[in-house]
C-alpha cells in the first residue's frame, strides 16, 4: 500500500516537473509509440442504443488522459471497431484488435452473449478486456476485469429492499425477463434466494419474452391478476433493451401505480428512460451502483467532463458509463504503477487498485477480478432521473460465484 502511494507521488512529481519545464499548452509526448486502447462496442444494430455512449466515454477518457500528458510519457490512442450487435462478429473484431492493431487493452461488450463470444479470443491471445456492465456472474477469467455488478451487488439487495418496510413489504414476486442467459441465470439465483427467505414457489411468477417484445398487454394483465391474491406483490424486471419502453408504457396505461405494485428493474437507466414519458412511472424503481443524481465531487467532475466532451448538456450519464470511467482510471493507475502496458504486469498491478468513483464511494479491485461496489435503489422521477431512496453504507465485495447456484457455489476461489 505504502509502495503504491510512493509511486503515485513520484508520478505526480514527474508530472509537475514536466508541467514546469514545458510552458507549451499542448502536451508533447517524450518517447515511444502510442499506447493503443481498443474499443469494442456495437455502433449499429439493436445494441447501438446502449453501447454508443460507452464508446464516447472511452474516447472522452482517452482525450482526458492525453490532455494530462498521456500515460508513461506516451500518447494514448483509441482504436474503434464496430461489431454491429452481431455476436460472432464480436470475436472476429476482438481478434482484429489484438492481432492486427496490437492493442494494449480493450474496453468493450454489453450483452453477456457478446462477452462469452470474445472470451476465448482474449484467453488465447492473452489480451486484457474491461467489461463495464452488470451481469449474471458465474464467470471469472484472468483476461477480463469486470467493473459492473455481480448479482449480490444488484439483484439480491434490490429484492431485499422490496421485501423491507420501506420498499412496501412484498410477499409475492413476479420475475419478468427477456429470454437469454442473463435474466434466466439471475432469476434462478433470485428464486433460490426468495425460497431461502420463506417465499414459496406458488408466490413467484416467472415469465420470459423475446428480445424487442412490444405487445405487453397480456403479460401486464396477468401480473395484475397475480397481484390480486391478497398479498403485497412486486415486479422484478430483467427486461433488456428496447422492450422496456412498451413495457413501461403498458404499465402506465393499465394504471399500475408504484404504490400498489412497485417494479424494480436491473437494466433500465437514465439512457433507456430518455425515450419514454416518465410521468406515469414515478415511483417505480431501478437498482444500480451509480445514478446520475448522485451528489459527490467526483460525479460533478464526471458530468462536467461528459457534457464538455459530447457538447450537449442534455445528455445523461449512467451506470455502465461510470463503470467504464472507473475501469479506465484504474487501468491507467495500474499501468503507471507497473511502468509497462504488458498484460501480465498490469494484471498483477490491478489487484488492490483503489479509485474514488463518481458513485461517491472508493471502489477496490479484488483478486476475483471484480470490484467492490455500493448498491443504490432509485425511484424514477418525472424528469427521467432517479431519486435515490436507499444505498448501502459501504461498497460490497462481489460474489461472482453465487452461493445460490449449488454446482458453482464452492468455486469461490476461482
Partner 1 sequence: MSFLLRLLAVFLLLAAPLRAQESFESGVAGLAGGFAAQAEAVERLGALGDPRAVPILRALSEGKLQKSPDGVLAIEGRDALTGAPAPTATETVRINNRVRGALRGAFGRLELASPQEAERINAAAGLFRARSADNIRLLEDALGREASPAARAAMEQALAASRLAAADPGVKRQGVLMLSGSASPEARSLLLGALAANPGLAAEIDSAIAAIDHRLQIRRVAETAFQGLSLGSVLLLAALGLAVTFGVMGVINMAHGEMVMLGAYTTVVVQEAFRGIPWLLPWALPLSVPAAFLVAAAVGAALERGLIRHLYGRPLETLLMTFGVGMILQQAVRLVFGAQNREVLSPSWMQGVITLPGGIEVTQNRLWIILFSLLVLAVTIAAIQFTRFGLEMRAVVQNRRIASTMGIRTGRVDAMTFAFGSGIAGMAGVALSQIDNVSPNLGTGYIIDSFMVVVFGGVGSLAGTMIGAFTLGVVNKMLEPWAGAVLAKIAVLVGIMLFIQRRPKGLFALKGRAAEQ
Note the residues at the interface with partner 1 (CB under 8 A): 43-46, 48-49, 52, 165-168, 179, 207-210, 212-215, 217-219, 221-222, 224-225, 227-231, 242, 245-246, 249-250, 252-255, 258-260, 262, 271, 274-277, 280, 283, 379, 381-382, 387, 389
User: Which residue's CB is nearer to partner 1, number 218 or number 297?
Assistant: 218
User: Which residue's CB is nearer to partner 1, number 150 or number 377?
Assistant: 377
At closest approach, how far in Å is the CB of 269 from partner 1?
13
At closest approach, how far in Å is the CB of 116 from partner 1?
21
User: Which residue's CB is nearer to partner 1, number 7 or number 282?
Assistant: 282
User: Which residue's CB is nearer to partner 1, number 28 or number 214?
Assistant: 214
DSSP 100: I
At closest approach, how far in Å is the CB of 289 from partner 1?
20
At closest approach, how far in Å is the CB of 51 from partner 1?
9
3-state secondary structure of 121: helix
User: Which residue's CB is nearer to partner 1, number 52 or number 372?
Assistant: 52
At closest approach, how far in Å is the CB of 262 from partner 1?
6
Give the Cα-Cα-Cα angle 82, 88, 89 (nearest 5 degrees). 20
Q: Find, among 212, 276, 273, 271, the residue nearest to 241 by Cα.
A: 212
Rounding to the nearest 10 degrees, give the CA dihedral for residues 20, 26, 30, 31. 160
User: Which residue's CB is nearer to partner 1, number 128 or number 258?
Assistant: 258
The residues, any chain, with a CB within 8 Å of residue 289's CB and separated by 6 or more, are 134, 148, 149, 153, 154, 319, 322, 323, 359, 373, 374, 375, 376
At closest approach, how far in Å is the CB of 402 from partner 1?
25
φ/ψ (deg, to 5) at 145: -110, 125
φ/ψ (deg, to 5) at 119: -55, -50
At closest approach, how far in Å is the CB of 60 from partner 1?
17
User: Which residue's CB is nearer to partner 1, number 78 or number 227?
Assistant: 227
Q: Find, among 374, 379, 334, 377, the residue nearest to 354 by Cα.
A: 334
d(CA 149, CA 40): 20
Give the Cα-Cα-Cα angle 27, 32, 33 (nearest 5 degrees). 95
Amino acid at each position: 500500500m505504502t509502495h503504491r502511494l510512493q509511486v503515485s507521488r513520484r508520478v505526480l512529481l514527474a508530472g509537475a516537473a514536466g508541467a514546469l519545464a514545458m510552458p507549451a499548452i499542448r502536451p508533447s509526448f517524450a518517447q515511444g509509440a502510442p499506447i493503443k486502447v481498443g474499443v469494442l462496442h456495437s455502433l449499429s444494430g439493436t445494441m447501438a442504443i446502449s453501447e454508443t455512449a460507452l464508446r464516447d466515454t472511452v474516447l472522452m477518457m482517452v482525450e482526458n488522459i492525453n490532455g494530462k500528458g498521456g500515460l508513461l510519457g506516451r500518447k494514448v490512442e483509441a482504436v474503434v471497431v464496430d461489431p454491429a450487435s452481431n455476436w460472432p462478429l464480436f470475436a472476429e473484431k476482438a481478434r482484429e484488435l489484438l492481432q492486427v492493431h496490437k492493442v494494449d487493452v480493450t474496453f468493450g461488450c454489453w450483452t453477456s452473449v457478446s462477452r462469452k463470444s470474445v472470451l476465448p479470443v482474449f484467453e488465447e491471445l492473452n489480451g486484457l478486456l474491461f467489461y463495464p456492465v452488470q451481469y449474471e456472474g458465474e464467470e471469472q477469467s484472468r483476461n477480463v476485469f469486470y467493473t459492473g455488478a455481480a448479482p449480490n451487488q444488484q439483484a439480491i439487495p434490490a429484492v431485499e429492499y422490496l421485501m423491507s418496510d420501506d420498499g412496501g413489504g412484498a410477499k409475492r414476486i413476479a420475475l419478468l425477463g427477456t429470454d437469454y442467459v442473463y435474466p434466466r441465470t439471475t432469476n434462478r439465483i433470485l428464486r433460490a434466494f426468495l425460497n431461502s427467505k420463506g417465499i414459496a414457489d406458488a408466490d413467484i411468477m416467472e415469465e420470459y419474452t423475446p428480445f424487442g417484445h412490444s405487445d405487453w398487454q397480456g403479460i401486464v394483465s396477468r401480473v395484475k391478476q397475480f397481484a390480486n391474491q391478497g398479498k403485497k406483490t412486486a415486479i422484478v424486471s430483467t427486461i433488456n433493451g428496447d422492450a422496456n419502453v412498451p413495457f413501461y408504457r403498458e404499465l402506465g396505461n393499465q394504471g399500475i401505480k408504484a404504490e400498489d405494485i412497485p417494479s424494480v428493474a436491473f437494466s433500465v437507466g437514465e439512457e433507456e428512460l430518455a425515450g419514454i414519458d416518465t410521468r406515469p412511472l414515478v415511483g417505480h424503481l431501478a437498482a444500480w451502483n451509480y445514478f446520475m443524481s448522485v451528489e459527490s465531487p467526483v460525479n460533478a467532475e464526471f458530468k462536467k467532463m461528459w457534457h464538455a466532451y459530447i457538447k450537449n448538456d442534455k445528455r445523461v450519464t449512467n451506470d455502465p458509463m461510470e463503470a467504464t470511467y472507473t475501469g479506465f482510471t484504474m487501468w491507467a493507475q495500474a499501468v503507471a504503477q507497473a511502468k509497462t502496458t504488458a498484460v501480465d504486469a498490469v494484471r498483477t498491478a490491478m489487484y488492490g487498485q483503489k479509485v474514488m468513483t463518481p458513485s461517491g464511494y472508493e471502489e477496490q479491485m479484488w483478486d476475483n477480478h471484480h470490484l467492490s461496489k455500493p448498491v443504490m435503489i432509485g425511484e424514477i422521477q418525472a424528469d427521467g432521473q432517479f431519486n435515490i431512496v436507499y444505498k448501502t453504507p459501504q461498497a460490497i465485495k462481489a460474489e461472482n460465484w453465487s452461493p445460490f447456484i449449488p454446482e458453482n457455489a464452492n468455486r469461490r476461489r476461482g
